[in-house]
Amino acid sequence: MSSNIEAFIQILLLFLLLPSSICQLSLEALTPNRPIKDGDVLVSSTQIFALGFFSRRNPQHRYVGVWHNKVPGQTIVWVANRDNPVNDSYGVLSINGDGGLVIHGKDRSTPLWSANVTLSSPPNFTAKLLDTGNLVLIENGSQRVVWEGFDYPSDTVLPFMKIGLNRRSGLERRLTSWKSKDDPGTGSCTCGIDPMGFPQLFLWKGREALWRGGPWIGEKWSGRPEITDNGVYNASFVNNEDEIYFMYDVPTLITRGVLDESGIFQMFVWNDRWIKFYSYPTEWCDHYRQCGPNTNCDPDKQLACTCLPGFESKSPRLSVGGGGCIRKAGASTCQNGEGFMKVARVKIPDSSMAHMSMSMSLKECKQKCLMDCSCTAFTNTSADEQGGGVGCVIWHGDLMDTRTFSNAGQDLYVRVDSTSLAQYAKSGGSLSKKARLAISLGSAVIVFFLLLTLYWLVRMKMKGKRRQNKYSFKLTGGSTYFEEAIGGLALDDSRINSELLLFHLNTLATATNNFSIENKLGEGGFGSVYKGILYDGKEIAVKRLSKFSGQGIEEFKNEILLIAKLQHRNLVKILGCCVEDEEKILIYEYLPNKSLDSFIFNETRRALLSWTRRFVIIFGIARGLLYLHEDSRLRIIHRDLKASNVLLDNSLNPKIADFGMARIFRGEQTEANTNRVVGTYGYMSPEYAMEGLFSIKSDVYSFGVLLLEIITGKKNAGSHKGYPYSNLIGHVWELWKEGRVMEIIDSSIGESYLVSEIIRCIQIALLCVQELATDRPTMLAVVSMLGNDAALPSPRQPAFLLKRMSPSRDPSSNKGASSVNDVTCTIVEAR
């Protein structure tokens, strides 16, 4: 008997000493007599979601939240007391005497959080967690839901959660970001629906709009036309006198949408890990009002911002995000022969102040707008762009935040004066019936001849394939040959462009006249570049790596894999490679104007670059870098941006080249370290040159140096006689402090520029070359600053201020020693 009692006592002691996490109690419901204590969890019926207390950065701060119960890592999707954490381990979630949910700490007298309800009868409630993740308070008997957590979202939207407004109660359901990744407190970013005018989806930071999703146009948002109700992704939008809301569902998949603390919304799907499948804002044109009023932002154009039809820029260059565009001088659009010009595939303008009618056709909409002299544009309310769509939206005043999509969007009809309308018709914007008939007859004739020649075309195609194999073949059947050619290094087939060609060495030798000196375009530490002409007349640039090149087999493979996947107008296009014998050769598109340095550092050719052209080059380089850092599939650090690695096409548009030293950052990686510092003296950031530490801010520093060189026509590391500093950065900095920065501008530019604009570019450059990487802006910020008239921060002292030694100073003396920033850094050019 005594042995049984002893055993019982041991078991009891063991139970009392077990950790609370092992002893946690799982509940299916919360009742007035059964609260949730810290350590207990409330689970949904199929255990998809769980609710309980959790901590983040500070273990003493305890929050009540809901998380995915079957997903590792406790992914929090809803938080109750986000701004009032429990500061002890005695937290309790309970139903109080008034029937509402409350959270208490050790002090039971004052609740830290409450979900009050309005009662018409004595309270008799139960709280449950649904399989949707929604915490609900249910009236027993009637099973009426009197309160639900989905009415008060935190930073996450889940399937079946409404985002919008209850017009009767005034309850507004918006996502609100956390303060940081480790602090669930209420952040400054929100996402919701603006019910004014033609209701729209917005993302705000404080009161400032960051991104506009546009209005709901039937199965999708105007600003997100690629995300549509397609049977897999089910979306619904309700707009009536009682409420307006958006809700989604993706059956059979675990999904969540998260608004982070920086103001970016990301949608994730679970597949052994959380995978992001879209986010916004992503493109430069996504950001609200990037180009100012009466403009259209087109990311596929060199200068993304253009004026809408009938409008002109306030300044010689369109002021992105500033004054925008105004109606053309002298244009009359009131009962004077005016009409409308179609702007295709756009996110329609900000419709907060627009007027809409669901009962009108597009034809009726046009007539109503035409009769109203203050009407500036119209479209329909749905995505039907065939002319028979129902609904009408009419704008008065300025048209804000319009952007073009490549293969989606609506047609917008903008009011223009009779002169613009005539010019549009003359250029082919509209066709008469006779012209359309002539085109139809011509098309029939063309089809007839195509049928007659179809057999010949097939024969020629087969001959062309055989002919192509004489000089190259495509990487379509795997990479075995490629791996063997470069020494058996493993290569992931999925990372190689299927159109990349492997050229035979004899083909390239023939194309370049056996790599003759007459065909040489340039030479560097990596080897030489030659112009080549293939048998079919196609011009190519052939980069032949030297056997003693600083670019080894790793860099060679790196450049192929990177450039083959990168698709951007401001990045050079690679056509193929050659790996025969000991040769390592890359083949690029041929750019006849060679590199940027052959212009800006050439006394004669620099005069060909006006300030307008230089700004286009600057802006293009910035957009290319932004693509590498933010918009490509992987974050890519170039590490060797300089004037000679920027090529110019026929129209002098820039293309960033030479990715041999580039590095890929994966996931959330933001910086890396290397023992092998590569790059070019004068363009390397201090943290990279001295510590081997590189990041996107290293490229920003190089861009700043390049920007100063483009403006001044001088090399940063060149000879600057008569200046107190031996490098360009130091000289510009000195003039900047003295207010004499205009003295350094390249005289060959002439006077056809805005002084404020060129000074702004110099200030941006100085911001980019600041000594501390944390002080430098990102390329997204740089692109915005280049076209924005908003005030800029004052730059701090740049890195590498190389002061000349006074002739009277004794080199052996330590007197008058400079600061760390004045020390000359001797870095050998690695290429």
Say if residues 471 and 503 touch (Cβ distance below 8 Å): yes
Beta bridge partners of 50: 43, 67
Residue the block writes with tokens 């002084």: 755
3-state class (DSSP) for residue 147: strand
Which are the contacts of 829, defined by CB distance < 8 A and separation ≥ 6? 525, 679, 680, 681
Q: How many residues does the chain have?
A: 831
Q: Enter the tokens of residue 131.
A: 């399989």
Say if residues 533 and 547 touch (Cβ distance below 8 Å): no
CA 136 from chain centre, in angstroms, equals 37
Secondary structure (H, E, C), 515-538: CCHHHEEEEECCEEEEEEECCCCC
402-404 and 295-297 strand pairing: parallel
Say if residues 396 and 335 touch (Cβ distance below 8 Å): no
3-state class (DSSP) for residue 478: coil
Say if residues 656 and 646 touch (Cβ distance below 8 Å): yes
208-215 and 200-205 strand pairing: antiparallel
In which order are the strands placed within the sheet that holds 36-37?
A: 36-37, 92-95, 101-104, 113-115
Distance CA 156, CA 736 (A): 47
Phi, then psi, of 291 in degrees rounded to 5: -105, 0
Residue 706: CB atoms within 10 Å: 28
Q: Enter the tokens of residue 807.
A: 């002739």
Query: Is 721 known to sit in a ligand binding site?
Result: no
Q: Strands (DSSP E) along 782-828, which ranges?
A: none
Phi, then psi, of 205 in degrees rounded to 5: -120, 110
Residue the block writes with tokens 């597009």: 362
How close are the terminal C-alpha atoms of the chain, in Å? 88
Say if residues 586 and 559 touch (Cβ distance below 8 Å): yes
Residue the block writes with tokens 């065909």: 519
Q: Which helix (H) or strand (E) holds 317?
A: none
Secondary structure (H, E, C), 660-684: CCCEEECCCCCEEECCCCCCCCCCC
Q: SS3 breakdown of the chain: % helix, strand, coil, rounded to 5?
A: 25, 30, 45
In which order are the strands placed within the sheet that holds 144-148?
A: 125-129, 135-139, 144-148
Which are the contacts of 815, defined by CB distance < 8 A and separation ≥ 6? 809
The CB-side HSE value for 668 (13 A sphere, CA atoms) comes to 2
Cα Rg of the chain (Å, integer): 33
Q: Say whether 640 is catalytic.
A: yes
Distance CA 428, CA 521 (A): 42
Distance CA 536, CA 520 (A): 21
3-state class (DSSP) for residue 148: strand
Tell me which residue of 384, 320, 397 sits closest to 358, measured CA to CA: 384
The CB-side HSE value for 518 (13 A sphere, CA atoms) comes to 4
Say if residues 237 and 246 touch (Cβ distance below 8 Å): yes
Catalytic residue of the set 155, 298, 398, 640: 640
Distance CA 399, CA 378 (A): 11
3-state class (DSSP) for residue 142: coil
Tell me which residue of 809, 830, 596 sits closest to 713, measured CA to CA: 596
Is the N-terminal amide bond of 281 cis, ω within 30° of 0? yes
Residues that are catalytic: 640
Question: Which residues are annotated as part of the binding site for ATP?
Answer: 543
Question: Which residues are annotated as part of the binding site?
Answer: 543
